[in-house]
Structure 1
Amino acid sequence: MTTPEPTPAAPAPDAAPVVRLGYHGSVEVAGRIAALAGPGRAAVRTSQYDINDPFRGVLAGELDVIVVKFSLREPELACSRVLTTDARAAVLGAAHPLADRASVSVEELADHDTFHCPGALPGYVWDEVVPPYTPGGRPLRRRHRATDVAHMMELVAAGAVHLSLVSLADVAPPGIRIVPVHDLPPAPVALAWRRRVELPAHVAEFIAAAEREASR
Protein backbone atom coordinates (compact mmCIF):
# COMPACT_ATOMS: atom_id res chain seq x y z
CA MET A 1 0.00 0.00 0.00
CA THR A 2 1.40 3.29 -1.01
CA THR A 3 1.47 6.24 1.33
CA PRO A 4 -0.21 9.29 -0.21
CA GLU A 5 1.97 12.27 -0.82
CA PRO A 6 1.31 15.07 1.72
CA THR A 7 -0.70 17.95 0.39
CA PRO A 8 1.51 21.04 0.06
CA ALA A 9 0.59 23.82 2.45
CA ALA A 10 -0.90 26.89 0.87
CA PRO A 11 1.70 29.65 0.59
CA ALA A 12 1.46 32.22 3.36
CA PRO A 13 0.38 35.67 2.25
CA ASP A 14 3.20 38.15 1.95
CA ALA A 15 3.87 39.93 5.23
CA ALA A 16 3.20 43.65 5.24
CA PRO A 17 6.40 45.62 4.64
CA VAL A 18 7.93 47.32 7.67
CA VAL A 19 9.58 50.73 7.97
CA ARG A 20 12.38 50.40 10.52
CA LEU A 21 12.41 53.84 12.13
CA GLY A 22 15.17 54.83 14.55
CA TYR A 23 14.86 57.61 17.10
CA HIS A 24 16.61 59.01 20.14
CA GLY A 25 15.00 60.42 23.28
CA SER A 26 11.21 60.53 23.13
CA VAL A 27 9.36 58.02 20.95
CA GLU A 28 6.50 60.56 20.79
CA VAL A 29 8.39 62.58 18.19
CA ALA A 30 8.85 59.45 16.04
CA GLY A 31 5.13 58.75 16.49
CA ARG A 32 4.33 62.26 15.36
CA ILE A 33 6.22 61.67 12.11
CA ALA A 34 4.60 58.26 11.60
CA ALA A 35 1.21 59.93 12.03
CA LEU A 36 2.16 62.48 9.35
CA ALA A 37 2.96 59.65 6.95
CA GLY A 38 -0.42 58.06 7.64
CA PRO A 39 -1.29 54.36 7.55
CA GLY A 40 0.12 53.75 4.05
CA ARG A 41 0.77 50.12 3.17
CA ALA A 42 3.61 49.50 5.64
CA ALA A 43 3.88 48.99 9.36
CA VAL A 44 6.29 51.16 11.35
CA ARG A 45 8.64 49.56 13.86
CA THR A 46 10.49 52.03 16.08
CA SER A 47 13.74 51.39 17.91
CA GLN A 48 15.98 53.72 19.86
CA TYR A 49 19.47 54.40 18.57
CA ASP A 50 22.53 55.22 20.69
CA ILE A 51 23.27 58.97 20.67
CA ASN A 52 26.97 58.11 21.14
CA ASP A 53 26.99 56.49 17.67
CA PRO A 54 23.81 57.84 16.12
CA PHE A 55 24.25 56.86 12.46
CA ARG A 56 25.63 53.33 12.88
CA GLY A 57 22.29 51.54 12.52
CA VAL A 58 21.10 53.35 9.43
CA LEU A 59 24.51 53.15 7.70
CA ALA A 60 24.73 49.43 8.49
CA GLY A 61 21.30 48.82 6.98
CA GLU A 62 19.77 47.83 10.32
CA LEU A 63 17.42 50.82 10.18
CA ASP A 64 15.71 52.22 7.09
CA VAL A 65 15.42 55.80 8.29
CA ILE A 66 16.12 57.74 11.49
CA VAL A 67 14.68 60.80 13.19
CA VAL A 68 17.26 63.59 13.35
CA LYS A 69 17.10 66.99 15.04
CA PHE A 70 18.89 70.23 14.16
CA SER A 71 20.94 70.56 10.96
CA LEU A 72 22.71 67.53 9.53
CA ARG A 73 25.57 67.74 7.03
CA GLU A 74 26.79 64.15 6.73
CA PRO A 75 28.01 63.12 3.24
CA GLU A 76 26.66 59.57 3.68
CA LEU A 77 23.17 60.65 4.70
CA ALA A 78 20.30 62.29 2.84
CA CYS A 79 17.67 64.26 4.75
CA SER A 80 14.01 65.06 4.30
CA ARG A 81 12.55 68.52 4.59
CA VAL A 82 11.70 69.68 8.15
CA LEU A 83 8.68 67.67 9.30
CA THR A 84 8.06 69.08 12.77
CA THR A 85 9.88 70.89 15.58
CA ASP A 86 10.86 70.21 19.18
CA ALA A 87 10.93 73.15 21.60
CA ARG A 88 14.04 73.85 23.68
CA ALA A 89 14.18 73.12 27.39
CA ALA A 90 16.50 72.85 30.38
CA VAL A 91 16.61 69.48 32.11
CA LEU A 92 16.99 70.16 35.84
CA GLY A 93 16.91 68.29 39.11
CA ALA A 94 13.90 69.10 41.29
CA ALA A 95 16.16 70.81 43.85
CA HIS A 96 17.78 73.10 41.28
CA PRO A 97 17.06 76.83 41.89
CA LEU A 98 15.55 77.17 38.38
CA ALA A 99 13.44 74.01 38.53
CA ASP A 100 10.19 75.64 39.61
CA ARG A 101 10.23 78.34 36.95
CA ALA A 102 7.62 78.40 34.16
CA SER A 103 10.49 79.05 31.73
CA VAL A 104 14.12 80.12 31.79
CA SER A 105 16.48 82.12 29.60
CA VAL A 106 19.53 80.49 28.05
CA GLU A 107 21.45 83.44 29.51
CA GLU A 108 20.66 82.10 32.99
CA LEU A 109 21.98 78.67 32.07
CA ALA A 110 25.43 80.19 31.51
CA ASP A 111 25.76 80.25 35.32
CA HIS A 112 25.59 76.44 35.43
CA ASP A 113 27.64 73.53 34.08
CA THR A 114 26.21 71.73 31.04
CA PHE A 115 27.29 68.67 29.03
CA HIS A 116 30.00 67.83 26.50
CA CYS A 117 29.11 66.37 23.09
CA PRO A 118 28.41 62.62 23.47
CA GLY A 119 30.43 60.03 21.56
CA ALA A 120 30.47 60.29 17.77
CA LEU A 121 27.64 62.81 17.49
CA PRO A 122 28.98 65.53 15.14
CA GLY A 123 30.31 68.55 17.00
CA TYR A 124 28.48 70.95 14.69
CA VAL A 125 25.17 69.35 15.77
CA TRP A 126 26.10 69.70 19.43
CA ASP A 127 26.88 73.37 18.83
CA GLU A 128 23.17 73.77 18.07
CA VAL A 129 22.10 71.67 21.06
CA VAL A 130 24.43 73.42 23.51
CA PRO A 131 25.71 76.57 21.77
CA PRO A 132 29.27 77.57 22.71
CA TYR A 133 27.89 81.02 23.56
CA THR A 134 24.51 82.43 24.45
CA PRO A 135 22.95 85.09 22.17
CA GLY A 136 24.26 87.63 24.69
CA GLY A 137 27.83 86.36 24.30
CA ARG A 138 28.17 84.36 27.54
CA PRO A 139 29.99 81.02 27.24
CA LEU A 140 28.05 77.88 28.09
CA ARG A 141 30.32 75.66 30.22
CA ARG A 142 30.43 72.08 28.91
CA ARG A 143 31.87 70.17 31.84
CA HIS A 144 29.81 67.01 32.32
CA ARG A 145 30.05 63.76 30.33
CA ALA A 146 27.29 61.17 30.16
CA THR A 147 27.27 57.72 28.59
CA ASP A 148 23.50 57.53 27.98
CA VAL A 149 20.20 59.20 28.90
CA ALA A 150 19.95 57.38 32.24
CA HIS A 151 23.46 58.50 33.23
CA MET A 152 22.68 62.07 32.13
CA MET A 153 19.54 62.08 34.27
CA GLU A 154 21.58 60.88 37.27
CA LEU A 155 24.03 63.75 36.84
CA VAL A 156 21.17 66.22 36.43
CA ALA A 157 19.59 64.97 39.64
CA ALA A 158 22.94 65.69 41.32
CA GLY A 159 23.02 69.30 40.05
CA ALA A 160 24.10 69.31 36.40
CA VAL A 161 22.07 71.19 33.77
CA HIS A 162 21.27 69.73 30.36
CA LEU A 163 20.20 72.14 27.62
CA SER A 164 17.95 69.96 25.50
CA LEU A 165 14.39 69.55 24.22
CA VAL A 166 10.89 69.62 25.67
CA SER A 167 10.21 66.09 24.38
CA LEU A 168 12.56 64.67 27.04
CA ALA A 169 9.67 65.12 29.47
CA ASP A 170 8.42 61.78 28.11
CA VAL A 171 11.48 59.92 29.44
CA ALA A 172 12.36 62.01 32.52
CA PRO A 173 12.25 60.04 35.79
CA PRO A 174 10.61 61.39 38.96
CA GLY A 175 12.64 64.21 40.47
CA ILE A 176 13.60 65.69 37.10
CA ARG A 177 12.03 68.86 35.73
CA ILE A 178 11.83 69.88 32.07
CA VAL A 179 11.66 73.70 31.96
CA PRO A 180 11.11 75.46 28.61
CA VAL A 181 13.85 77.81 27.38
CA HIS A 182 12.02 80.80 25.94
CA ASP A 183 14.83 82.51 24.04
CA LEU A 184 16.14 79.72 21.79
CA PRO A 185 14.35 78.61 18.61
CA PRO A 186 12.88 75.09 18.51
CA ALA A 187 14.88 72.30 16.94
CA PRO A 188 13.88 71.31 13.41
CA VAL A 189 13.09 67.59 13.12
CA ALA A 190 13.59 65.58 9.92
CA LEU A 191 14.28 62.06 8.65
CA ALA A 192 17.65 60.81 7.41
CA TRP A 193 18.62 57.73 5.38
CA ARG A 194 21.62 56.34 3.51
CA ARG A 195 22.59 58.32 0.47
CA ARG A 196 23.32 56.52 -2.83
CA VAL A 197 21.29 53.48 -1.76
CA GLU A 198 17.95 52.81 -3.42
CA LEU A 199 15.26 52.83 -0.76
CA PRO A 200 12.61 50.12 -0.72
CA ALA A 201 9.42 51.47 -2.27
CA HIS A 202 7.48 51.40 1.00
CA VAL A 203 10.21 53.41 2.78
CA ALA A 204 10.34 56.01 0.00
CA GLU A 205 6.53 56.25 0.16
CA PHE A 206 6.67 56.74 3.94
CA ILE A 207 9.14 59.64 3.60
CA ALA A 208 7.22 61.24 0.74
CA ALA A 209 3.89 60.99 2.57
CA ALA A 210 5.35 62.59 5.69
CA GLU A 211 6.82 65.44 3.62
CA ARG A 212 3.53 66.03 1.78
CA GLU A 213 1.53 66.20 5.00
CA ALA A 214 4.11 68.44 6.73
CA SER A 215 3.86 70.91 3.84
CA ARG A 216 0.09 71.36 4.19
Structure 2
Amino acid sequence: MSDPSTSSAPGAPPVRFGIHGSPHLASAVVRAAGRDGSAVQMVGYDVEDPFRGLRAKELDVMIVKYGLREPDLALSRPVAYDPRAAIVGAHHPLATRASVSVEELADYDAFRCPGAFPAYVWDEVVPPRTPAGRTIRRRYDMGTVQGLMELLAGTDAVHISFQSLDTITPPHIKVVPIADLSPAPVALAWLRELEPGAHVRQFITDAENGSTAR
Protein backbone atom coordinates (compact mmCIF):
# COMPACT_ATOMS: atom_id res chain seq x y z
CA MET A 1 0.00 0.00 0.00
CA SER A 2 1.22 3.48 -0.81
CA ASP A 3 2.30 5.85 1.93
CA PRO A 4 -0.32 8.66 2.20
CA SER A 5 2.46 11.16 2.79
CA THR A 6 4.05 10.44 -0.62
CA SER A 7 1.21 9.14 -2.83
CA SER A 8 0.03 12.59 -3.96
CA ALA A 9 2.20 15.38 -5.30
CA PRO A 10 2.49 18.34 -2.92
CA GLY A 11 -0.19 20.91 -3.70
CA ALA A 12 -2.20 18.54 -5.91
CA PRO A 13 -5.97 19.17 -5.78
CA PRO A 14 -8.23 16.51 -4.27
CA VAL A 15 -9.35 13.74 -6.58
CA ARG A 16 -13.05 14.35 -7.33
CA PHE A 17 -14.41 10.87 -6.69
CA GLY A 18 -18.00 10.00 -7.67
CA ILE A 19 -19.77 7.53 -5.38
CA HIS A 20 -23.24 6.03 -4.96
CA GLY A 21 -24.73 4.05 -2.09
CA SER A 22 -22.51 3.42 0.90
CA PRO A 23 -19.50 5.73 1.31
CA HIS A 24 -17.77 2.97 3.30
CA LEU A 25 -16.96 0.96 0.17
CA ALA A 26 -15.44 4.03 -1.48
CA SER A 27 -13.54 4.81 1.72
CA ALA A 28 -12.04 1.31 1.68
CA VAL A 29 -10.84 1.90 -1.89
CA VAL A 30 -9.33 5.23 -0.85
CA ARG A 31 -7.52 3.61 2.08
CA ALA A 32 -6.26 0.78 -0.14
CA ALA A 33 -4.82 3.46 -2.43
CA GLY A 34 -2.91 4.88 0.53
CA ARG A 35 -4.86 8.13 0.68
CA ASP A 36 -6.38 10.04 3.56
CA GLY A 37 -9.57 12.08 3.44
CA SER A 38 -7.84 15.30 2.41
CA ALA A 39 -6.64 13.77 -0.88
CA VAL A 40 -10.11 12.78 -2.13
CA GLN A 41 -13.37 14.72 -2.43
CA MET A 42 -16.28 12.28 -2.48
CA VAL A 43 -19.24 13.44 -4.56
CA GLY A 44 -22.52 11.52 -4.71
CA TYR A 45 -23.91 10.72 -8.15
CA ASP A 46 -27.51 10.06 -9.20
CA VAL A 47 -28.18 6.46 -10.23
CA GLU A 48 -30.77 7.73 -12.75
CA ASP A 49 -28.00 9.51 -14.71
CA PRO A 50 -24.82 7.97 -13.34
CA PHE A 51 -22.24 9.28 -15.81
CA ARG A 52 -23.42 12.89 -16.03
CA GLY A 53 -20.74 14.13 -13.62
CA LEU A 54 -17.90 12.50 -15.55
CA ARG A 55 -19.21 13.66 -18.89
CA ALA A 56 -19.68 17.20 -17.57
CA LYS A 57 -16.09 17.05 -16.28
CA GLU A 58 -17.30 17.68 -12.73
CA LEU A 59 -15.68 14.42 -11.56
CA ASP A 60 -12.24 12.96 -12.19
CA VAL A 61 -13.14 9.33 -11.53
CA MET A 62 -16.13 7.38 -10.21
CA ILE A 63 -16.80 4.04 -8.60
CA VAL A 64 -18.72 1.54 -10.74
CA LYS A 65 -19.76 -2.11 -10.57
CA TYR A 66 -19.61 -4.74 -13.31
CA GLY A 67 -18.13 -4.14 -16.75
CA LEU A 68 -19.07 -1.00 -18.64
CA ARG A 69 -19.49 -0.84 -22.41
CA GLU A 70 -19.66 2.94 -22.65
CA PRO A 71 -17.38 3.99 -25.55
CA ASP A 72 -16.40 7.29 -23.90
CA LEU A 73 -15.44 5.77 -20.53
CA ALA A 74 -12.25 3.95 -19.53
CA LEU A 75 -12.23 1.36 -16.75
CA SER A 76 -9.64 0.23 -14.21
CA ARG A 77 -8.97 -3.31 -13.10
CA PRO A 78 -11.19 -4.43 -10.20
CA VAL A 79 -10.27 -2.61 -6.99
CA ALA A 80 -12.73 -4.47 -4.70
CA TYR A 81 -15.66 -6.88 -4.69
CA ASP A 82 -19.08 -6.21 -3.15
CA PRO A 83 -21.04 -9.32 -2.03
CA ARG A 84 -24.66 -9.54 -3.13
CA ALA A 85 -27.57 -9.02 -0.73
CA ALA A 86 -31.33 -8.53 -0.66
CA ILE A 87 -32.54 -5.33 0.98
CA VAL A 88 -35.97 -5.79 2.60
CA GLY A 89 -38.16 -4.28 5.28
CA ALA A 90 -37.82 -5.70 8.80
CA HIS A 91 -41.38 -7.10 8.49
CA HIS A 92 -40.50 -9.08 5.34
CA PRO A 93 -40.78 -12.91 5.43
CA LEU A 94 -37.07 -13.17 4.49
CA ALA A 95 -35.79 -10.49 6.88
CA THR A 96 -34.61 -12.86 9.63
CA ARG A 97 -32.87 -15.33 7.35
CA ALA A 98 -29.10 -15.80 7.55
CA SER A 99 -29.05 -15.92 3.73
CA VAL A 100 -31.42 -16.37 0.81
CA SER A 101 -31.37 -17.79 -2.71
CA VAL A 102 -32.10 -15.66 -5.74
CA GLU A 103 -34.73 -18.31 -6.57
CA GLU A 104 -36.63 -17.28 -3.44
CA LEU A 105 -36.42 -13.62 -4.35
CA ALA A 106 -38.44 -14.29 -7.51
CA ASP A 107 -41.50 -14.60 -5.24
CA TYR A 108 -41.39 -10.84 -4.62
CA ASP A 109 -41.49 -7.67 -6.71
CA ALA A 110 -38.14 -6.00 -7.44
CA PHE A 111 -37.00 -2.75 -9.10
CA ARG A 112 -36.77 -1.52 -12.69
CA CYS A 113 -33.67 -0.07 -14.31
CA PRO A 114 -33.60 3.63 -13.37
CA GLY A 115 -33.43 6.46 -15.90
CA ALA A 116 -30.30 6.48 -18.05
CA PHE A 117 -28.60 3.72 -16.06
CA PRO A 118 -27.23 1.13 -18.55
CA ALA A 119 -29.76 -1.69 -18.92
CA TYR A 120 -26.98 -4.24 -19.51
CA VAL A 121 -25.47 -3.39 -16.10
CA TRP A 122 -28.88 -3.45 -14.41
CA ASP A 123 -29.35 -6.98 -15.76
CA GLU A 124 -26.30 -7.91 -13.67
CA VAL A 125 -27.63 -6.09 -10.60
CA VAL A 126 -31.23 -7.34 -10.87
CA PRO A 127 -31.22 -10.38 -13.18
CA PRO A 128 -34.31 -10.61 -15.39
CA ARG A 129 -34.46 -14.34 -14.61
CA THR A 130 -33.07 -16.70 -12.02
CA PRO A 131 -30.71 -19.56 -12.99
CA ALA A 132 -33.75 -21.87 -12.89
CA GLY A 133 -35.58 -19.63 -15.36
CA ARG A 134 -38.00 -17.88 -13.01
CA THR A 135 -38.83 -14.31 -13.99
CA ILE A 136 -37.82 -11.61 -11.50
CA ARG A 137 -40.67 -9.11 -11.54
CA ARG A 138 -39.02 -5.70 -11.91
CA ARG A 139 -42.08 -3.66 -10.98
CA TYR A 140 -41.03 -0.67 -8.89
CA ASP A 141 -39.26 2.50 -9.99
CA MET A 142 -35.87 3.26 -8.48
CA GLY A 143 -35.47 6.74 -7.03
CA THR A 144 -33.58 8.21 -4.13
CA VAL A 145 -32.09 6.01 -1.42
CA GLN A 146 -34.57 7.50 1.06
CA GLY A 147 -37.47 6.73 -1.26
CA LEU A 148 -36.21 3.18 -1.70
CA MET A 149 -36.06 2.62 2.05
CA GLU A 150 -39.56 4.00 2.51
CA LEU A 151 -40.98 1.72 -0.17
CA LEU A 152 -39.26 -1.34 1.28
CA ALA A 153 -40.59 -0.47 4.73
CA GLY A 154 -44.16 -0.39 3.45
CA THR A 155 -44.24 -3.35 1.03
CA ASP A 156 -42.89 -6.86 0.52
CA ALA A 157 -40.65 -5.64 -2.31
CA VAL A 158 -37.02 -6.75 -2.45
CA HIS A 159 -34.08 -4.74 -3.73
CA ILE A 160 -31.51 -7.16 -5.15
CA SER A 161 -28.39 -5.20 -4.32
CA PHE A 162 -25.11 -5.26 -2.38
CA GLN A 163 -23.82 -6.06 1.09
CA SER A 164 -22.14 -2.64 1.36
CA LEU A 165 -25.54 -1.05 1.93
CA ASP A 166 -25.63 -2.55 5.43
CA THR A 167 -23.65 0.50 6.59
CA ILE A 168 -26.37 2.98 5.61
CA THR A 169 -29.65 1.13 6.18
CA PRO A 170 -31.88 2.22 9.09
CA PRO A 171 -32.95 -0.31 11.76
CA HIS A 172 -36.28 -1.05 10.06
CA ILE A 173 -34.48 -2.24 6.90
CA LYS A 174 -32.55 -5.53 6.77
CA VAL A 175 -29.69 -6.63 4.52
CA VAL A 176 -29.75 -10.39 3.84
CA PRO A 177 -26.86 -12.06 1.97
CA ILE A 178 -27.72 -13.78 -1.32
CA ALA A 179 -25.93 -17.13 -1.30
CA ASP A 180 -26.06 -17.92 -5.02
CA LEU A 181 -25.09 -14.64 -6.72
CA SER A 182 -21.39 -13.87 -7.11
CA PRO A 183 -19.93 -10.69 -5.60
CA ALA A 184 -19.86 -7.70 -7.94
CA PRO A 185 -16.49 -6.47 -9.20
CA VAL A 186 -15.90 -2.82 -8.27
CA ALA A 187 -13.79 -0.63 -10.56
CA LEU A 188 -12.97 3.00 -11.28
CA ALA A 189 -14.16 4.77 -14.44
CA TRP A 190 -13.04 8.02 -16.04
CA LEU A 191 -13.66 10.00 -19.22
CA ARG A 192 -11.57 8.45 -21.98
CA GLU A 193 -11.10 11.68 -23.97
CA LEU A 194 -9.85 13.62 -20.95
CA GLU A 195 -6.36 12.53 -19.94
CA PRO A 196 -6.45 12.39 -16.13
CA GLY A 197 -4.10 14.66 -14.25
CA ALA A 198 -0.99 13.07 -12.78
CA HIS A 199 -2.54 12.93 -9.29
CA VAL A 200 -5.65 11.18 -10.66
CA ARG A 201 -3.60 8.67 -12.68
CA GLN A 202 -1.57 7.91 -9.56
CA PHE A 203 -4.73 7.43 -7.50
CA ILE A 204 -6.09 4.93 -10.05
CA THR A 205 -2.77 3.06 -10.14
CA ASP A 206 -2.49 2.97 -6.36
CA ALA A 207 -6.09 1.78 -6.02
CA GLU A 208 -5.37 -1.07 -8.44
CA ASN A 209 -2.11 -1.98 -6.71
CA GLY A 210 -3.57 -1.75 -3.20
CA SER A 211 -6.69 -3.71 -4.09
CA THR A 212 -7.68 -6.89 -2.27
CA ALA A 213 -9.56 -7.92 -5.44
CA ARG A 214 -6.53 -9.47 -7.14
TM-score using structure 1 length: 0.90
Q: Which structure: larger Rg?
A: 1
Contact map agreement 2:12 2:199 (CA 8 A) in 1:
no
Separation (CA, whole Å) in 2 of partners of 1:39 and 1:27: 15
Separation (CA, whole Å) in 2 of partners of 1:95 and 1:82: 36
Separation (CA, whole Å) in 1 of partners of 2:57 and 2:140: 32
Q: Aligned pair 1:162/2:159, yes or no?
A: yes
Shift of 1:39: 3.0
Query: What is the match of residue 128 of structure 1?
Result: 124
Separation (CA, whole Å) in 2 of partners of 1:16 and 1:204: 12
**Structure 1 letter corresponding to 2:190:** W
Q: Aligned pair 1:206/2:196, yes or no?
A: no
Shift of 1:63: 0.6
**Structure 1 letter corresponding to 2:98:** A
Separation (CA, whole Å) in 1 of partners of 2:197 and 2:148: 36
**Structure 1 letter corresponding to 2:174:** R
**Structure 2 letter corresponding to 1:39:** R
Query: What is the match of residue 23 of structure 1?
Result: 19
Shift of 1:15: 4.1
Separation (CA, whole Å) in 2 of partners of 1:143 and 1:198: 40
Q: Aligned pair 1:184/2:195, yes or no?
A: no
Q: 1:173 aligns with which of 170, 174, 186?
A: 170
Q: 1:45 aligns with which of 41, 45, 50?
A: 41
Q: Aligned pair 1:94/2:69, yes or no?
A: no
Q: 1:110 aligns with which of 106, 110, 121?
A: 106
Aligned residues: 202
Unaligned runs of 5+ in 1: 1-13
Shift of 1:37: 1.1
RMSD in angstroms over aligned alpha carbons?
A: 1.4
Q: Aligned pair 1:69/2:65, yes or no?
A: yes
**Structure 2 letter corresponding to 1:195:** R
Query: What is the match of residue 145 of structure 2?
Result: 149
Q: Which moved more, 1:99-108 or 1:141-150?
A: 141-150
Q: 2:79 aligns with which of 59, 77, 83?
A: 83
Unaligned runs of 5+ in 2: 1-9
**Structure 2 letter corresponding to 1:133:** R
Match of 2:117, SS state, is coil
Q: Deviations over 1:57-112 (max 9, x none)?
A: 01111110000011211111000001110000000100000000000000000000
**Structure 2 letter corresponding to 1:179:** V
**Structure 2 letter corresponding to 1:124:** Y
Separation (CA, whole Å) in 1 of partners of 2:53 and 2:170: 27
Separation (CA, whole Å) in 1 of partners of 2:109 and 2:35: 44
Match of 1:50, SS state, is coil
Shift of 1:16: 3.9
